[in-house]
Amino acid sequence: MFYKELKEFPKDFLWGASTSAYQVEGAYDEDGKGLSVQDVHTPPPGITDFKVASDHYHHYKEDIKLMAELGLKAYRFSIAWTRIIPDGSGEVNEKGLQFYHDLIDELLANNIDPIATMYHFDLPYKLHENGGWANRETIDAFEKYSKILFENYGGKVKYWLTINEQNVMINHPNAMNPGRIPSKKELYQQSHNMFVASAKATLLCHEMCEDAKIGPAPNITAIYAEKCNPSDALAADDWESIRCWLYLDIAVHGRYNTIAWSYMEEKGYTPDIEAGDMELIAKAKPDYIGVNYYATATVCASKNDGTDCQPRNGDQQVMIGEEGVYRAGVNNYLEQTDFGWMVDSIGLRVTLRRVYDRYHLPLLITENGLGAKDELQADKTVHDDYRIDYLKRHFHQAQLAITDGVELIGYCPWAFIDLVSTHQGYGKRYGLVYVDREEDDLKSLERIKKDSFYWYKEFILNN
C-alpha cells in the first residue's frame, strides 16, 4: 500500500460501545417478559446462564451515567423481543415497552445517540416451538414487532439495526436452536425468511420514521487464502461469498450472490421463495451497513476426503471447514487471544475496504473487541493494557480505512460493560467496565472502570 497523509475521524463520528439485551440485562422473567431461546438454553457445567447477566435491567441508570462519563456519543443495545411481546406474536407488554422508553430517554438526556438492534439471537421461545424462522409466521410476527418498535421509539431512535449476525445464526446454529440443530436445508430456509422479515422492517421503518436510518449487522470478515496457489484463492473466494457476501448482496442489491446460490443448488440447500419475496427484498434498501468485525479468517482448498470439517468449539470466529467447500487454514502471521481468536487489526482495514467498495454505503462498526480473563486487583482496578493495545491498533486501521475513502460513520467496540459471552459465560470479559461477579457467584455486581475505560475517554476527548 502506498502511504498517505491520515485523514481525521469526522467531527460527528459516533464513538460508541455495544451490548445485547440477553447478554447484559438479566431480569429474564421480570415485569411480564416472556422466555427466549436463550433463557431455555442450558450452558455447559461451570458456565453461567443468562438469567441475571450484568443486571443492567436494574442498573441501567448507573450504567448510562458511566457512558456519559466516558464521553460516548452513541450506545448500541438490542431490544428483547420477549419484553415487548412475551410470546413473540400476541399481546404487548406495557412494562417492557416502558423499560426501553426509559432507557432511550436516559440516553438522550445524556446526549448519547441510541443505536437499537431489533433482534440479537434471542428469538421468543414460543415462536421457536412453533417452527422458529423456518415457519413463515415468524416473518409476520417480526413485522408486527417492528411496527410496535417504530410506533413507540421511531421518533427518538435515529439508527436501527434489523438482525444481528444472521450469518452467524446460519453457520453456527448451536446456541440459537435449543434442543435440535436444524439441517442446512432448513437453515437456509430460516435465512431466507429472515431476509424477507428484514426487508419488511426496513420498508416499515422508512414509511413510519422520518429521519431514521436502518441497516443489517452481519459478522463480516475478509477471508484470506492460506497459500498463493489458485485453488486456495478460489476456496477463499467461495467461502467469503457463502459466509459474507450472501447476506449483504441480498440486503443491498436484493439478489442472491451467484457463488453462494450455486453452492446452495449443488448441495440441495436452496430455500422455497414465495412469489413477491424477491421484489419486496429488492425494494427495501438499507441506509447503512453495520459491521461486526473480530478477525479475518484463513482458509485453503478442500480435499473432499471426509476430513474438511474439523469442528472445534463452535465459535463464530473460528473457521471449521466444510466438506467439498473449504478447509480451515493456518495463519502464522497473526497473534491469537487466550480464547483462540485471531487478532488482525490490518484485516479490519481490508474488510472495511472490501465492504465499502462493494456496496458504497456508509459503514458503522457495530462490534469489535477483545475477550479476556480480566483480573480485579485488591485496590479495585483492572489493568487491561492488552485491550487498550487492541483498540488502539484497530482504531488506527479504521482511520486508515477512512483515509482510503471508506465512509465510516462510527465505531462501537464490544462491549461497553462486561456481559455473558454467547457460549463461554462470564469468564470471557469484553467490557470497558468491569462487573464484580463470577460465573457462579453474583457477588456485588458493582461496576468498576477498567484502564481501557479511561484510555477510551481520553481518546474520544482528543478526537
Query: Known catalytic residues?
Result: 367
How far is 322 from 302, CA to CA, in rounded Å?
8
Nearer to ligand BG6, 261 or 386 (CB): 386
The set of residues, in sequence order, having a beta carbon less than 8 Å from that of 20 and lying 6+ positions away, is 77, 78, 117, 120, 121, 122, 164, 419
The contact mask relative to ligand BG6 for 417-446 (x = CB under 6 A, - = no) is: ----xxxx---x------------------
Judged by CB under 6 A, the number of residues near ligand BG6 is: 16
Q: Is 164 in the site for ligand BG6 (CB under 6 A)?
A: yes
> How is residue 305 annotated by DSSP?
S
Our finding on whether 240 is near ligand BG6 (CB under 6 A) is no
Of 54, 103, 55, 59, residue with least CA distance to 78: 103
One of 9, 20, 75, 260 touching ligand BG6 (CB under 6 A): 20
Residue 37 and residue 46: Cα distance in Å, rounded? 20
**How much helix, strand and coil, in percent to the nearest 5, is found in the chain?**
40, 15, 45
For ligand BG6, the binding residues in 290-329 under the rule CB under 6 A are 292, 316
Candidates 131-139, 178-186, 230-238, 414-422: pick the segment binding ligand BG6 (CB under 6 A). Answer: 414-422
CB of 404 vs ligand BG6, minimal distance in Å: 25
Which of 455, 411, 452 minimizes the C-alpha distance to 9? 411
Q: For the segment 36-95, give every residue that binds ligand BG6 (CB under 6 A).
A: none
Assess 414 for contact with ligand BG6 (CB under 6 A).
yes
Q: What is the DSSP letter of 32?
A: T
Q: Residue 246 is placed in which grid cell?
A: 450472501
Q: How far is the CB of 387 from ligand BG6 (least distance, A)?
A: 14
Distances (CA, A) of 354 to 216, 218, 225, 397, 462: 17, 14, 15, 14, 29
- Residue 317, burial from CB neighbour count under 10 angstroms (0-12, 13-18, 19+): buried
By rule CB under 6 A, what string of x and - marks binding of each residue 99-118 to ligand BG6? --------------------
Q: Which residue, 14 or 168, is less far from ligand BG6 as judged by CB?
A: 168
Q: Which residues of 113-126 are buried (b: 16+ CB within 10 A; e: fewer)?
A: bbbbbbbbbbbbbb
Task: Mark the segment that binds ligand BG6 (CB under 6 A) among 92-100, 220-228, 378-386, 415-423.
Answer: 415-423
Name the segment binding ligand BG6 (CB under 6 A); options: 164-172, 204-212, 263-271, 381-389: 164-172
> Is-cis flag, bond preceding 201, omega within 30?
no
Candidate residues 367, 374, 384, 418; the one interacting with ligand BG6 per rule CB under 6 A: 367
Our CB check for ligand BG6 shows the closer of 256 and 288 to be 288
- Give the residue with the Cβ less far from ligand BG6, 168 or 391: 168
Q: Which residues bind ligand BG6 (CB under 6 A)?
A: 20, 23, 164-165, 168, 219, 292, 316, 367, 371, 414, 421-424, 428
